[in-house]
Amino acid sequence: MQTPVTAAAKIAVFKKCGIEVAATPSDMADALLRAAKAKGVTLD
């Protein structure tokens, strides 16, 4: 029987792989902006 994988564990793996993660649904827009900024996209 496998141990269930928690959301926190999944988020940790994504971050380790360099994938931007929204910690909460209300952080989604900010996460998209962080990811865009990291790729050099400028939004006015």
CB 20 within 8 Å of CB 34: yes
Q: Which residue carries 């971050």 as its tokens?
A: 15
Q: And the tokens for 15? A: 């971050």
pLDDT in tens, 4-32: 889 889 989 999 999 999 988 999 999 99
Distance of CA 16 to CAs 1, 3, 42, 44, Å? 26, 21, 25, 30
CB 15 within 8 Å of CB 21: yes
The pTM assigned to this predicted structure is 0.64
One-letter amino acid of 7: A
Which of 14, 44, 13 is closest to 31 using CA atoms? 14
Check residue 14 and give its pLDDT: 93
Check residue 31 and give its pLDDT: 93
